[in-house]
Structures are given as C-alpha cells and as structure tokens.
Amino acid sequence: MSTSPRLAAAKRDWGHDETGCTTLHIDMDAFFASCEIARHPELKGRPVIIGTGPRSVVSAASYEARPFGVNSAMPTATARRLCPQGVFLPVDMTYYREISRRVFALFGEVTDRIERVSVDECYMDVSGALRRWERPTAIGAWLREEVARTFGLTCSVGVASNKLVAKLASTNAKPNGMLLIPVARQAEFVQMLPLRSIPGVGPSLGRRLEHWGVTTVAQLARLDETEIAQACGSTTHAHSLYLAARGLDTRVVMPVSPEKSIGAERTFDMDAVTAGEVTSLLLWGADRVASTLRGKRLMARTITVKLRFADLSYSTKSHTLETPVTMASAIYPQSVRLLERMLGMPEGSASDNDARLPRPVRLAGVSVSGLADTATTPVQASFDDLLAEEDAGMGPCSSDGRATRIAGSARVHDDSDDDGGNVDTDGKRGRSDNVGGGTGGVRDHMTNTTARSVNAIRMGQAEKALDSIRQRYGSDAVRLGLRRPQGTHRTDKE
C-alpha cells in the first residue's frame, strides 16, 4: 500500500513514444486487503482494513476505506474511530507471501530480469522481451489482465526509461492503472510532482529544503548540485537529488538484489517505561538478527537501534564497528549503548532493569547493515584473539555437552567496547570460571582483553549450538540467556 504523494493532474496521457522505455514498475494495489477480498468475495465493496490489535497499526486498507481517512501506518484504534463500519482483519503473512510467490511466478513468464522490492512490488527490465512483445505497454497491459484474471487482484504499472520515473508513474497510475512517461517528457513529469514524491525526501530533509525555499521538484531542479549539498548536508545525497529533479536515474534493474539489512522489532502491549523492558526486547532482537546472519552466512558492520514513542514519532541511531560481527553477544551491548545515547541516559544506566526511561517507548528494534559474505570477508585476528582461541579449546558441539550448558546460562554485560562484551558463563558478573578445562594456570596470567576474547569465543560457540537447536525444533524453540523478559511485547511488526 503506497503512501507516496500523488497528483491527479499527473494521471493523464503523456504521449505514446515508447522508445527507450524498457523499465516497468509494478505495484499491487492495497495488496493485503485485496488478498483478503479475493479470499472472501463477500467483502467486495466494503472498507477492509488489515490490522486488529489494540496497539497495532494499519498494514493495508482497501480503497473503499480511503475516503474515511484510513491509511497505512495509522494506529488501528484511530482507524476504528474514523471508520467504525470497517471490516478489520488480522495480518496473515503466510497467505500473502504465497499469493506473492504465485504473482511473481506469473511475472517471470515475461522475463527473468525482475528486481523484487517487496512482497507486492518489483521492477522489470523488459528490453530482452520486446522481440516477442514489441511494446513495453503491451507487456504492462498483459500483466494487469492476467493478475486480475488469475488472482482477482489489481496492480498499477509505470513504464519509463529508468527506475525512478517508472516508480513515480506507477504511484500516480493508482489504482488499477498504467502510465507511460516518454523519455522526452520525464523531466516535465517529475517536476510537476510534490517534493515528497522523490524517494529519500522525508519529513526531516523536506524541512531542510524548505528553509532554502524548495517545496516542489521544479524548485529543486533550479538549484545546482553544490547548493543542494549545502541544503541537505550530503554530497552523495545531493547528487542523487540533482539527477532525480531532472528525471534521471543511473540505477539498473538488479534481478538478484543483495540484502541490505536484517532487523527485528516488536511493539509493546503497553508502553515500556523501564530500561529492562527495552533491553530485554533488544536482547531478543540481537539474538534473532545474529541467528539470521549466520544462517545466511553474512557478517554485519553497522548496528542500528530503532525506537517508536507513544506519539508514534520514531528515532534511530547507528554505530559502525571496525570489525564485522555475526554474534548477538557483539550486537546486544552495542544496541544498549545506542539506546542510552538515543534517550540521553548515562552510560551503563540501562543495565539497571528498574531504571526509568526519559520517555515511554512503544516499539523497539535492532537491525544490522553493511553486510558482507562471511566466506569472502577477511577479518584480522588480534594477538589476544589468537591466544583466546587456543585457551578456549572447545568446539560448539563438544562431547561433554559443555557448550550447551554455556548457552543455557549465558548472560551478556556491557563492560567494554570490545565485540562480545563480558560474557560470564555462570551468570555472575566479573567471574571467569574454567569451563574449558585444563587452562586455569594460563588464565591467571591472561590480560583482561584476552579474557574477554575467550568469553566472546565461548559465547559464539554457544550461539552456534542454539542455531542447531532452532534448525531442529524451530526458531522460537530456544532463546539466548536466562533473562526473564521485562513486560510483554507483540510479535507483529508495526
């Protein structure tokens, strides 16, 4: 469900010259709601709203719900007030993903040059399919007809020479339309749109540009690249905005898009007011993200924490590490530090579960980015790391089962900036028992740094043991640590 600004005047005939317009953007219309209506035809013509929890937000709304002011990301409670006669249904991602899989299989009959953006949206490079289809608009028309005939759903199609203009065209073709923007008119088309139509121009950047007197794409196009850089504070962002204001985009359709980030977030049933409630959720998120990283054989360098507050405003803060990580024992301590900095709390204060937060938190989450393939990413081990590996001397599946016991009792503490923090195998702070066996004399002479490295290695072994359990019994069969979650939080994402 797109919430990008649309302009009624943009939905018109821009001409019929399709030369060079080999990029299509296909966006399913109100996908979740439309899937439910296709499954329950008796709902056709009624305002259908996806999202039912008292603390949830609207995931999608049928077009019949739009006149009541209902939109995605709106609190469900607000939607109920605006549209009490609406049909409110829970999110069924398993069903939506299956329909999405079948829809994309249909798209694949045209070309394999498909860049999937989300469950209901993609780009297509149809240059190689024109010998059969002759015109890009013929492909767009066929896709719309087949989606409607096969699935009882509608989609909107943008046809242009690049991804930016195709995306803007499909947005302004909604619902159930197709818009062709010839190459010669793409600058004119883009420059008639609201500034917020340009991807990447959110509320914050929009306000900064307003200070420069820029409220439309046409006004943005009058600035040179240096002026845009001064306005937005980023030369890289300025270059993309400079091109966008002229209807230009150098990005190509990527059939296999590399994963950009991995994250996990949850909404609290009641606003969290203590540090323990949020750090408990961050520990869950770090564990889930780290397990996903390892399952996909990826490493991450940047950690980001996201908070949404009671007024639905949100904040994010990131930290980039010198060494990429794959373990929750490295991600969690960093996420706690980010939490403290975001809320202006003294360093280390979040370790007190009962510490009051400066403001209530509605949702919290952690994500990682700067992803790289584990097999091809060199990581230089320090001398202490090498000593620690020798001292640890225990694989994740040792015959005596000690790794499993470590997994069951591990706690993560934020004592330093080292990846992995200080992980105690008995849950007591400051103690390093000789779990590996036979190395007590060596440990007495180890530096604190090496001791932390040993703990980090053992924690890594423990986390890999948890992966084995999850593969056999499911992702929710076991969780990292023995911390009792502070408060409750929902499993659905906002």
How many H-runs (helices) and E-runs (strands) does the chain carry? Answer: 17, 15
Q: For residue 382, what is the DSSP state?
A: P
- Cα-flanking dihedrals φ and ψ of residue 221, to 5°? -65, -20
Q: Which two tokens stand for residue 431?
A: 């103690």
If we measure between CA atoms, which residue out of 78, 37, 73 comes closest to residue 58?
A: 73
β-bridge partners, 422: 413
Beta carbons of 191 and 185 less than 8 angstroms apart: no
> What one-character-per-residue DSSP string does 170-194 give?
HHHH-SS-EEE--GGGHHHHHHTSB
Percent of residues in the chain assigned helix, strand, coil, to nearest 5: 40, 20, 40
Q: What separation in angstroms does the CA of 397 have from each of 310, 424, 455, 462, 485?
A: 44, 19, 16, 9, 28
| Catalytic member of 121, 277, 340, 494 | 121
Q: 28 is written with which tokens?
A: 């399913």
Other CB atoms within 10 A of residue 58 CB: 25
Contacts of 312 (CB under 8 A, 6+ apart): 75, 362
Is 198 within 8 Å of 238 (Cβ atoms)?
no
Residue with tokens 């999110």: 91
CA 169 to each of CA 138, 158, 164, 348, 485: distance values in angstroms, whole numbers, following the listed order: 16, 4, 9, 50, 46
The residue among 212, 273, 221, 219 whose CA lies nearest residue 243 is: 221
93-107 and 31-39 are packed helices; what angle lies between their axes, rounded to 10 degrees?
A: 100
Is 98 among the residues known to form the active site?
Answer: no
- Please list the active-site residues: 121
